[in-house]
Amino acid sequence: MLPFVMKMGFTRAIRYVPVVMLFAMLVAWGALQESDVAFIAGLPEWLVTPLGAFLVLIGGLAVYALSFVISARLYRTRSF
């Protein structure tokens, strides 16, 4: 959420980001309900394996690092 706060300001980010996240979750839920993909049913069992947990950790760290880079670039252009 920090890149959105840096770009739009705290007030607007708090208004719009939750709405966008809710909309994204509803779209994802609808897509999963309509899909017949078998790997989705096995996903919870795969995530509790050491490899799955490690990949989730790496993915989370990558998203956090990307958020940091975007926020730092936006902060440099900001004038106070």
pTM score, whole prediction: 0.58
Per-residue HEC secondary structure of the chain comes to CHHHHHHHCHHHHHHHHHHHHHHHHHHHHHHHHHCCCHHHHHHHHHHCCHHHHHHHHHHHHHHHHHHHHHHHHHHHHCCC
Q: What is the pLDDT along the chain (80 residues), one digit of tens a residue?
A: 777 777 778 788 888 888 888 999 998 888 777 766 766 667 778 888 999 899 999 999 999 999 899 888 888 887 66
Can you tell me the distance from the alpha carbon of 39 to that of 66, in angstroms, rounded to the nearest whole number?
28
74 within 8 A of 80, measured Cβ to Cβ: no
